[in-house]
Amino acid sequence: MPALTTHERKRLRRIGHELSPIVMIGNHGLSDGVIEELRRALADHELIKVKVAGEDRELRQTLIDSVVEVSGADVVQQVGKIILMFKKAEKRNVHLSNLVRFAHLDD
């Protein structure tokens, strides 16, 4: 997968600013249910925010790295415990895609 360009990242961050986290990763880490929900959310919405719990920064970063590896998504931005992730859908659902929903924020 080619890396996102600077322009694409700016656009996705602009859209991401409007989003709330829809996947929460708690103290139990990356369970099968969380992985399934993460994949479903990315397939439906393409651009999502994920909140990762935990106070230990190194442990949290390890968990974030695992999330990225499992999902195959790009990290657009990381601010504290929140990561903004993007994965282009194979078949875009125009009713659920955040890219379609917030298209008015494009340049």
Contact 80, 93 (CB under 8 A): no
- Report pLDDT digits (tens) over 16-35: 999 999 999 987 888 999 99
Average pLDDT over residues 44-58: 93
CB neighbour list of residue 95: distance below 8 Å, 6 or more residues apart: none
| The two structure tokens encoding residue 107 | 């340049």
From CA 41, how far away is CA 67, in angstroms rounded? 13
Q: Say yes or no to pLDDT of 10 above 80.
A: yes
- Report pLDDT digits (tens) over 63-93: 999 999 999 999 999 999 999 999 999 889 8
Q: Say yes or no to pLDDT of 2 above 90.
A: no
Instruction: Report the predicted TM-score, pTM, of the whole model to 2 decimal places.
Output: 0.90
Burial of 73 (0-12, 13-18, 19+ CB in 10 A): buried
From CA 45, how far away is CA 85, in angstroms rounded? 10
- Report pLDDT digits (tens) over 36-49: 999 999 999 999 99
